[in-house]
Structure 1
Amino acid sequence: MAHTAIHAHESLARLSEGNARFASGTTRHPHSDEDRRLGVSSGQAPFAAVFSCADSRVPPEIVFDCGLGDLFVVRSAGQMVENAVLASLEFAVHELSVPLILVLGHEGCGAVAAAESLMAQRASGAPLVLLPGHLNALAEQISRRLGAGSGEAHLKTPALTDAPRPMTQAARNTAAARAEVCARSPLIRAAHEAGDLELAHAIYDLETGRVTISGAEN
């Protein structure tokens, strides 16, 4: 696997800086002009892969104030890890040599709320209210993720304070998705263990526009 010129720490710094601009209303909208469009028409070299929720309020390129060719973005509701998601991320690692995969979740996630509702119904013993189509299967999968999380898990917020705070369910789901990506993909796991790839997860706040990045491993 070829190495990129950018280190994962620099990728994280660029994401953090871009999000700070977005949250403060000082976005630059970089790499969005005709020169950039023409420049990336013959190939791509994104500095990070972002696996995010499909929610329309959390578009990674906007949240991180990035432009054409900057991010390799994969999205699914509730950050569910399916074969197409894994194949897409493996392409980013193997073919594009991204140094970082960031799994991005958000507070107020409808998929997580559906899973919490399903868990509450089961706990109460009430008859289950099934969701239409494939939505119930999605809620089931996320409820198993959340149910598997036990103990005193915390989310570090080094940008704000050194004191950890308890994980929200959205953060727990996002951390589980990051672990699942690594566990289910031998290719991604091998790149990570070789030191060629860093994995991290993050939570986006819908009201403040701020992203808290955590769980970075090198």
Structure 2
Amino acid sequence: MQSSRKNGWMKCAGAVALMTALAGCATQGEQQATKVRPPVMTSETLKDMSADQAIQLLQEGNARFVSGTPTPHNYRQQVRTTGSNGQFPFASIVSCIDSRSAPSVIFDLGIGDIFSTRVAGNVINEDILGSLEYGSKVVGTKLIVVLGHTSCGAVKGACDNVEMGNLSGLLAKIRPAVDVTADVNGPDRSSHNYRFVDAVAENNVRLMVQSMHEKSPVLREMAASGQIKIVGAMLDVKTGKVKFL
């Protein structure tokens, strides 16, 4: 009986030792992960980050979003930290107002990670360019992303030549993408041809990226010197997956 009791204590002690070791490994892993990607962006982390690493962070975040395994963000702590220490976003994202395309959600990001500009059709104007120049030149973001998406209502409106109040001027900015898009899935170039609409949306992203280089000497020079990258991307609203162009 004493031998049995002794063996029981030994097994219990062994289990405790194993749990302690695993906990130590987990803590060490968390510390290592924190060095690579802190809960909140810091000036040091931003300074050491490259544009390609910024793209990788977005790709990894989107993969978590698509797989249903998002990061458990402590938003209250992030609010307190960024409120006290300031914000250091690593990217600026121009996206559509579509309810399915919120950048912080589809890229699994926390507070303080990105500057987010949202406008129907993810179009670029002087105010947005000024905002992006501030983010890149003043704050130091390493990446600018123009994020379009499938089944875009603004693109459909441009395809159908919709005219309505101030919306007309916005849709006029998308019309060049309609004009340069070849027929897709037949001659129908209206919103009823979903494949054509998505092709226009992708061309619209490319043209908006091009317009940044043409209309902003500040961003053009920063991109040419390798300080930042300006890229386009497309979100598939049916899957949540983002494809970088």
- State the partner residue of 1:33: 75
> 2:164 corresponds to which residue?
132
* Residue 4 of structure 1, CA deviation: 2.2
Instruction: Look up the equivalent residue of 1:77 and give its one-letter code.
Output: A
1:29/1:67 contact within 8 Å kept: no
Q: Which residue of 2 aligns with 1:143?
A: 175
Matched-pair contact (CA < 8 Å) for 1:8–1:198: yes
- SS of the residue 1:104 aligns to: strand
2:118 to 69, 75, 78: 75
Q: Which moved more, 1:90-99 or 1:132-141?
A: 132-141
- Distance in 1, matches of 2:170 and 2:78, equals 38
Q: Give the RMSD, CA atoms, in angstroms.
A: 1.8
Distance in 1 between residues matched to 2:68 and 2:159, nearest whole Å: 33
Cα offset for 1:29? 4.0
Matched residue SS, 1:95: helix
Task: Kindly name which structure, 1 or 2, has the bigger radius of gyration based on alpha carbons.
Answer: 2
Write the distance in 1 (CA, Å) between the matches of 2:81 and 2:213.
32
Contact kept in structure 1, 2:145 and 2:230, CA below 8 Å = yes
Measured in 1, the distance between the counterparts of 2:126 and 2:104 equals 23
Q: 2:243 aligns with which of 204, 212, 218?
A: 212
Superposed displacement of residue 23, structure 1: 0.8
Which of 29, 44, 51 lines up with 2:94 in the alignment?
51
Three-state SS of the structure 1 residue aligned to 2:173 is helix
Matched residue SS, 1:98: coil
Mapping of residues 9-24 of structure 1, within 5 Å: 9-24=52-67
Number of the residue aligned with 2:205:
174
Instruction: Please give the alpha-carbon distance, in whole angstroms, between the structure 2 residues aligned to 1:95 and 1:149.
Output: 36
Bigger relative contact order (CA 8 A; separation at least 6): 1
Q: Secondary structure at the match of 1:4?
A: helix
The CA deviation at 1:28 is 1.3
Q: Is the 8 A contact 1:29 1:65 kept in 2?
A: no
Identity %: 33
**One-letter amino acid of the counterpart of residue 191, structure 1:** M
Structure 2 unaligned blocks of 5 or more: 1-45, 183-197
Q: Give TM-score, length-normalised by structure 1.
A: 0.80
- In the TM superposition, what is the alpha-carbon distance from 1:75 to its structure 2 partner? 1.4
Q: How many residues are aligned here?
A: 185
Alignment of 1:64 with 2:115, yes or no, is no
Cα deviation, 1:100-130, whole Å, max 9, x if unaligned, reads: 1011000011111111112xxxxxxxxxxx5
Q: Which has the higher helix share?
A: 2
The residue aligned with 2:129 is: 86
Q: Give the deviation of 1:131 after TM superposition.
A: 2.5
**Higher strand proportion:** 1
31, 50, 53: which is aligned to 1:7?
Answer: 50
Structure-1 separation of matches of 2:89 and 2:116: 10
Runs of 5+ consecutive residues of structure 1 not aligned to the other structure: 119-129, 151-166
Matched, 1:103 2:103: no
Q: Where has structure 1 moved over 3 Å in runs of 4 or more?
A: none
Which whole-Å deviations, capped at 9, do the CAs of 1:51-75 have from their partners, x for residues lacking one? Answer: 1112122100001000100011111
1:158 corresponds in structure 2 to none
Q: Secondary structure at the match of 2:71?
A: coil
Q: How far has the Cα of 1:81 moved from its partner? A: 1.0
Q: CA offsets per residue over residues 152-205 of structure 1, 9 Å max, x none?
A: xxxxxxxxxxxxxxx811111111111111211110001001110111100001
